[in-house]
Amino acid sequence: MTLCFATHNQHKVKEVQAILGEAFILKGLDEIGCSEELQEDKDTLEGNSLQKAEYVFRKFGVSCFADDTGLEVEALNNEPGVFSARYAGEQRSAEDNMNLLLKNLASQVNRNARFRTVITLITPEGIRQFDGEVQGKIIDDKRGTEGFGYDPIFLPDGFSKTLAEMSLAEKSAISHRARAFKKLVAYLKGRKTSSVHHE
């Protein structure tokens, strides 16, 4: 089965292909001829993922899914949340984002945080949404070179490695994105999931 993943981020395509396995052929936006940046101007992860998937489905006529992921930090009233990618500005620099987050957390004892992903799948049959999350803590120093975004400062609960210190296989086993995509895969394979169905 061929699906479009509504992203230009090849790191994400690679991660998700590893989760989906050989039963699915995954194409990014570049591979379907979509060069523009998709709008993300909603105030929820659900809204952003739906906005992106709807645009691709309507304009390119392909079954597709889009995700939106946010890092929610308890001591910062769940910031950066929906603004995670551009927390430090429209340049969308992971380094700038991490540095600003660490600065804003400098005086905080509570380092609890969670990554949350929401996926919207649109096919000719309709629209479905799936979510996944992983709980953890924000550490003071960046560790690791794998992954992307805030991975070097996020330590998942129960682990001694940050997401950026984990191999792709290790991260795929526990990540928020992996958990959401496992629900998507289960649905695509006809299994029951705990997804939210939008008529």
Active-site residues: which are they?
Answer: 68
Q: What is the DSSP string of 2-34?
A: EEEE--S-HHHHHHHHHHH-TT-EEE-TGGGT-
Pairing of strands 64-73, 112-123: antiparallel
Residue with tokens 């603004």: 83
Q: Helices 10-20 and 176-188, interaxial angle, to 10°?
A: 50
Residue with tokens 């945080």: 113
82 touches 96 (CB < 8 A) = no
C-alpha span between 126 and 85 (Å, rounded):
28
C-alpha span between 39 and 115 (Å, rounded):
21
C-alpha span between 129 and 184 (Å, rounded):
8
C-alpha span between 77 and 68 (Å, rounded):
19
